Structure 1
Amino acid sequence: MSSILTNMGALNALKTLRKVGSDLDDTMQQVGTGKRVSNAGVNASVWAVSKTMESDVKGFQQISDGLGLAQATLSVARQGAESLADLLTDLKGKIVVGQQDNIDRQKVQADVDALRNQINAVVNATQFNGQNLIKHTSTDAGSGHIQILASLSRTESSVTTTDITLKRQDLRGLAAVVAASGGTYTAAADQVTLNATQSAAMDLSGQSVSVGTAFAISVFGIDADGSAFAQSDYRTTAAGAPTQAEIAGGTLAYVAREGDTMADVVTGLGRRWEAYANANSLSSDVLSLEFAGSTITASSDVSSGSDTLQVTLSRLGADAGNVTGGDLGDLASIDVTTEAGARDALGRVDVMIEAAVDAAAEIGSVQGRLTTQEKFTSQLIDSFKTGIGALVDSDLVETSARQQALQVQQQLAVQALSIANQQPQTLLSLFR
């Protein structure tokens, strides 16, 4: 049916023109923004997923920046510890010179003092952005470790973080101080006796550790006739149960630092024993002490039913006012002006070198983990960006071709509308 009131052809042409115009607007928006999904109105679910992923990318970028800062901090700490190991090696050379009889010990001591001052200066200067990881003096809870944010983990209901933990080292050349009186003292918190069994272990995992608590080991040997060992060499105290004053005046004590576990205490006691055994030329055949985890294992090749060696762990509570010290605490007491002092120093310097090397190795290990994590985070960011692009980015080659096609369709639709609008004029000619 033909009508001058209702032009169905024009309506259809107009509908087509509007549809082409709408598609062309969408295409132009994709060209302008470069995105196929630029807002929630286009595709709400895809847009929501992309925004969540973009927030994760922002988080990982901040983590990457933090890892870079941590890398720099650990690099400074590691280099400081390595420098201390080198300086202690130089110090060992001076101490070896001090073993000779035909030298001026005062001059050697001057060199030792200069190296000691340099070592202390390195410890104080090894800091980055206010963080000194080889000087641990704080007793505040949590100060014994630093947490380095390493990653984010997203689940359906929550987002959690993953940290890399680094234990602070303490390479100060300051000896710990154990109070000679006061506080809660336990003379024999644990004890083993080597006899015909010749081997025994102390499991210290049940001992509680808090900052400022002092632990000490002592040895009391019994061999009256000297048939197996020189009794006086294997007695660090006057009796089997040491007094508080004896552990305070001795060198076999360790004061727990903030963040220490029993394994750290055992390691500290192990270093104290190694230094003492070296300095006093004790034989491992007579008494060998192994320090691993939270266990101290004592063994002897010469103990018997009558020739015994008693090893005791003593404990003094933090309420006594003990003061923590550094792993290079023996620096303060090095004195090569006498033959005995030079011999004692030589026995202790190797343990200090070991402590510096161990600290550098532990820091280097964490630094290696950070390097791996930093690379992984960078790759993860790239993967997230690729995924977001696949979700929302527009294929500009395809969009450009579509734009040109729609422009042609738009021109054709305009012409079709023009033709449709001319049809009523044809109807009017029938009434002339």
Structure 2
Amino acid sequence: MSSILTNNGAMVALQTLKTINSRLAETQQEISTGKSVATAKDNSAVWAISKVMEADVKGFQAISDSLNLGQSTVAVARQAAETVSELLTDIKGKIVSAQEENVDREKIQADISALRDQISAVVGAAQFNGLNLLSNVSLTIGSGEINILSSLDRSGDGVSASDITVRKQDLSFQEQVLGTTAVATLADYVTGTPAAITGADTSAARTLTFMGGVVEAGIGYQVTLSTPVGNASVGDGGGDFSPSAGVYEYVARDGDTAQDVATELAKLINNGQADTVTASVNSANAAGDTGLEFSFTDSTDGVTFAFAAYQSTDAVVGGGLSQLANIDVTSQDGADSALLAVEGLIDVAIDAGAAFGSGQGRIETQLDFVSGLTDALKSGIGTLVDADMEEASARLQAIQVQQQLGVQALSIANQAPQSLLSLFQ
């Protein structure tokens, strides 16, 4: 049956054309935006995943900036530490020259003073964006190291930030000041009583227990020997230029551990020579308290050891090169002491440079990783949401042909009722 009121063919052709036009609009949007998933309505699941990944990319770009800043900061400190070690080597050469009696020690001392001033200038200028990693004499908790944002770790529990920690190294000349108030909880667990003990055996271990096993910045630790032991001489304060002979003192800086304190005291006792004493941290008593254990390689028979710890508000952490300020080669004794001291100072500068070099290397490795990871994330996002332009171009041409055919079909369907006129002629 034919009807002039209802044209089924035209309705079918119209619906087909609408579908074709909708597909054409989608393809044109892909081509114009370059994305197959531009909004959440295109594919909500893929869109959500891509947005999370885009947020991570933004985060890693910020991390890359942080790593670049940290790398520059550590690189400045490393370069300065290397320069200081070279200047200290020059000072050592001057000190060696002063060992000869037929030299003008006053002029040599003037050269040493000039090199010392240059070291001070290098250390003072070794800052980047106001941060100097060669100064670590503050008693503020957390000031002894810097944390460089290095990564974002995503897990089922959420997102957490990871840091690369670089510890400050001190190459200043600041003179340390021991505290004035004795730490009452300090105890010597070798004899069970605090204060002095007397050695009796070769290689006898002497143990110093810290209060609560915790090292705090500003607490000064002191070891006193009554008579020489091996290279540990009481005549010159163990090479630390202490006014009290045979007294070895170290004020803990922020970030120090018990092992750090043990190592520094051992350096002073060893007086820059072959090890007279090795220091380690062990469980010092039945209660399991953490303590320093000094093991002497030479006989300690008849030697009195005194251990003490002090703290006060006016304690001052000593600079890593504080001994350099007291070097004086104008006398033979001074030249001899300086030769012992400068070896330890060179080691301090070398250790600082090595520490910064290791930190810089780790930062550079992480920077390369973050860069590669960012590229991988971007590639993954592109795989999810980017349009395949070759496929879109081919599809566009096909749909355009379909659209033309749809328009033609609709035109034919609309002309069908006119054929009914012939029935009434």
TM-score (norm 2): 0.88
After superposition, give the CA deviation of every residue in 1:13-43 in whole Å (9 maximum; x if it has no partner).
0001000000000000000000000001111
2:201 to 164, 182, 196: 196
Aligned-partner SS, 1:368:
helix
2:279 aligned residue: 291
| Aligned-residue offset at 1:126 | 0.6
After superposition, give the CA deviation of every residue in 1:283-305 in whole Å (9 maximum; x if it has no partner).
75xxx2113467443123545xx
Q: Which residue identity is paired with 1:198?
A: S
TM-score (norm 1): 0.87
Matched, 1:55 2:55: yes
1:31 aligned residue: 31
Aligned-partner SS, 1:171:
coil
2:123 aligned residue: 123
Aligned-partner SS, 2:205:
strand
Distance in 1 between residues matched to 2:119 and 2:86, nearest whole Å: 10
The answer (yes or no) to whether the contact 2:279–2:295 under 8 Å persists in 1 is no
Distance in 2 between residues matched to 1:338 and 1:203, nearest whole Å: 37
1:150 aligned residue: 150
1:40 aligned residue: 40
| Aligned-residue offset at 1:208 | 2.4
| Aligned-residue offset at 1:195 | 2.9
1:220 to 208, 215, 226: 226
| Aligned-residue offset at 1:199 | 3.6
Distance in 2 between residues matched to 1:38 and 1:232, nearest whole Å: 76
Matched, 1:318 2:312: yes
1:183 aligned residue: 181
1:167 aligned residue: 167
Q: Measured at CA, do residues 328 and 423 of structure 1 come closer, stay the same or move farther in structure 2, by a change above 3 Å? A: same
Gaps of 5+ in 2: 191-197, 283-291
The answer (yes or no) to whether the contact 2:217–2:252 under 8 Å persists in 1 is yes
Distance in 2 between residues matched to 1:134 and 1:122, nearest whole Å: 10
Aligned-partner SS, 2:391:
helix
Matched, 1:138 2:138: yes
| Aligned-residue offset at 1:341 | 0.7
2:251 aligned residue: 255
- Percent pairwise identity: 47
Greater CA deviation, 258-267 or 326-335? 258-267
User: How many pairs align?
Assistant: 404
Greater CA deviation, 19-28 or 106-115? 106-115
The answer (yes or no) to whether the contact 1:133–1:168 under 8 Å persists in 2 is yes
1:241 aligned residue: none
After superposition, give the CA deviation of every residue in 1:196-236 in whole Å (9 maximum; x if it has no partner).
362425375753222211012222349xxxxxx79994688
2:401 aligned residue: 408
The answer (yes or no) to whether the contact 2:187–2:209 under 8 Å persists in 1 is no
Q: Map residues 74-89 of structure 1 onto 2, 5 A cutoff.
A: 74-89=74-89
1:8 aligned residue: 8
Gaps of 5+ in 1: 223-228, 238-245
Q: Measured at CA, do residues 384 and 127 of structure 1 come closer, stay the same or move farther in structure 2, by a change above 3 Å? A: same
Q: Which residue identity is paired with 1:16?
A: T
Aligned-partner SS, 1:298:
strand
| Aligned-residue offset at 1:135 | 1.2
2:287 aligned residue: none
Aligned-partner SS, 1:343:
helix
Q: Measured at CA, do residues 143 and 190 of structure 1 come closer, stay the same or move farther in structure 2, by a change above 3 Å? A: same
Matched, 1:107 2:110: no
